[in-house]
């Protein structure tokens, strides 16, 4: 596998592949890393905006859920025979 990052100075990019890749199907991806950061910040995997969930859980319910998670995680380290 060959992976690299570059900043193109024109609309054309060319590169050489290893000899072992000759005759094989290759997958080539081109994307801006800044596009990925912005996209992942605002959306869930299914495309729904996360902002619509703000305020849906009361502070009391959130505290209950956090307590449950803390208790459940403490059970992960116990010995089970």
With tokens 């024109």, the residue in question is 10
pLDDT, tens digit, for every residue of 17-40? 899 999 999 998 888 888 776 555
Q: How far apart are the first and last CA of the chain?
A: 44
Residue pair 43/51 in contact by the 8 Å Cβ criterion: no
Q: What is the mean pLDDT of residues 7-12?
A: 92
Hey, what are 48's tokens?
């729904």
pTM for the whole structure: 0.38
Banded pLDDT at 74 (limits 50, 70, 90): confident
């Amino acid at each position: 596998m060959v992976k690299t990052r570059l900043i193109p100075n024109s609309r054309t990019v060319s590169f050489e592949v290893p000899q072992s890749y000759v005759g094989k199907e290759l997958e080539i991806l081109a994307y801006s890393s800044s596009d990925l950061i912005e996209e992942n910040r605002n959306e869930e995997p299914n495309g729904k905006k996360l902002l619509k969930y703000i305020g849906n859980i009361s502070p009391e319910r959130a505290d209950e859920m956090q307590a449950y998670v803390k208790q459940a995680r403490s059970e992960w380290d116990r010995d089970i025979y």
